[in-house]
Amino acid sequence: MTAAASCEACAAAKVRASGLYIARCEGCTARAVARSLAAHHAWHPQGNCDLEPLKALVDKLFPADRQRQARALVWAWWQHDHPQPPAQEHPPT
């Protein structure tokens, strides 16, 4: 697998919505996992908080020696796609 930094599809996805994925790119694979139903169920506020399908997907798609880094990549893409709103001092009226 290639590094995400060298992938045109990953670079494009960081600046605009992109459905382009490159085979054999760890970043593209991580982005696909982050946009999967398993990630939604695990991390979305309306999900069911079940992490097992997400862990199984990462275990299946990434080599054993890269799974820790892969989980970090998946989480980074999730955060990119689901930014938290800035904290407000006063609630909107």
Task: Please tell me the least confidently modeled range out of 30-34, 55-59, 83-87.
Answer: 83-87
Round to whole Å and give the CA distance between 55 and 93.
41
- Residue 29 confidence class, pLDDT cut points 50, 70, 90: very high
The domain spans of the chain are 4-81
pTM of the model: 0.83
Q: Measure the CA–CA gap between 18 and 21, rounded to whole angstroms.
A: 8
pLDDT tier at 85, thresholds 50, 70, 90: confident
- 43-76: per-residue pLDDT in tens? 999 999 999 999 999 999 999 999 999 999 999 9
Cα–Cα distance measured from residue 46 to residue 61, given in angstroms and rounded to the nearest whole number: 25
